[in-house]
A = this chain, B = another copy of it.
Amino acid sequence: MANDIVYFSEEQSEDAVISRMDRSKVDPRLYSVMGSLIKHLHAFIKEVEPTNDEWMAGVKFLTRTGHMSTDWRQEFILLSDTLGVSMLVETINNRKPSGATETTVLGPFYISDAPRYPHGANICLDGKGEPLLVRGRVTDIDGRPIKGALLDVWQANDEGFYDVQQKGTQPDMNLRGIFETGADGSYWFKSVKPRFYPIPDDGPVGQLLAALARHPFRPAHIHFIVGADGFRPITTHVFDPDDPYLATDAVFGVKESLIVEFHKVDDPAEIARVGFDGPYWETVCDFVLAKA
């Protein structure tokens, strides 16, 4: 037998597995990813020294997670979300020059063909919830306004559901819209105050969260995709600072810089000017884009 054979042993278990790949015949990126996976996976096993029963519990958890996943429900993405992996991948892929608005996860409820609206339009089509005015500016990292930037907006309603989760109950395209900035980089629109909501927690990931004494809630937020010619688009949220789950988002989507202010406006002149029927919430959401 050749001298370079690496038989399995506890001490060199990683090498035994990694050396089995034929580097000359494997895609270089796959070779590198699998080498890293094997190294970290074995380090994990060596650190926790699972019993056979614990190992089997892991096998069964992954199997249930696979069985829960369908065309309509992706339990492995939920697992990735709740372990912070989705946010980490998103963050790594969206490092930007200092000063640009930070990004966060897209989430599963985006629809690409939301209606275009003029400034001031109300994206709440069923009138339910506390009125909210959203306004702000889109600028470059030097503070110069960006004209013609598009803001693609979507959010849950005051009960924590997106339109696509309540077809027939909410109007189609409720709480979705696309707005374009004016010459001063500004935009504004009407909506309702969003509410926190749980991620699907009736599967193995929900059971894991419960075992870890973690709740399944995402704090109230509004989704934005903001883009403009010559700039790198951003996918992000803004968060309500008063939400009870702000500090404990089940999917770790909150970044400190994405927490905005929500303040109550009850000045009758302002109410009349923006066109609400009574007091409303207002939030100012500015976005900074980096050059493409």
Which residues of A are at the interface with B, using a C-beta cutoff of 8 A?
1-2, 5, 7-10, 13-14, 16-17, 20-22, 25-27, 30-34, 36-38, 40-52, 54-55, 59, 62-67, 69, 74, 76-77, 80, 83-93, 95, 211-214, 246-248, 252-256
Contacts of A74 in B (CB 8 A): 59, 63
Contact A25 B87 (CB under 8 A): no
Contact of A89 among B25, B55, B64, B77 (CB under 8 A): B55
Contacts of A47 in B (CB 8 A): 36, 40
Copies in the complex: 2
Contact of A45 among B59, B69, B92 (CB under 8 A): B92
Contact A252 B16 (CB under 8 A): yes
Contact B246 A1 (CB under 8 A): yes
Contact of A91 among B10, B86, B254 (CB under 8 A): B10
Report how far A80 CA is from B20 CA in the complex, Å. 15
| Cβ contacts A to B, 6 pairs, < 8 Å | A10-B92, A14-B84, A21-B213, A38-B84, A55-B86, A65-B66
Report how far A35 CA is from B120 CA in the complex, Å. 48
Q: Residue on B with the closest CB to A61?
A: B76
Contact B87 A211 (CB under 8 A): no
Report how far A89 CA is from B86 CA in the complex, Å. 28
Contact A44 B40 (CB under 8 A): yes
Contact B66 A7 (CB under 8 A): no
Contact of A54 among B26, B33, B76 (CB under 8 A): B33
Contact A8 B48 (CB under 8 A): no
Report how far A84 CA is from B12 CA in the complex, Å. 11
Contact B48 A33 (CB under 8 A): yes
Contact A41 B40 (CB under 8 A): yes
Report how far A67 CA is from B65 CA in the complex, Å. 9
Most B CB contacts (10 A, CB to CB) among A5, A88, A248 go to A88
A21-B214, A37-B44 are known contacts; what are 10 more A-B pairs with Cβ within 8 Å? A1-B247, A10-B91, A25-B213, A36-B47, A36-B48, A37-B48, A40-B44, A55-B80, A55-B86, A66-B67
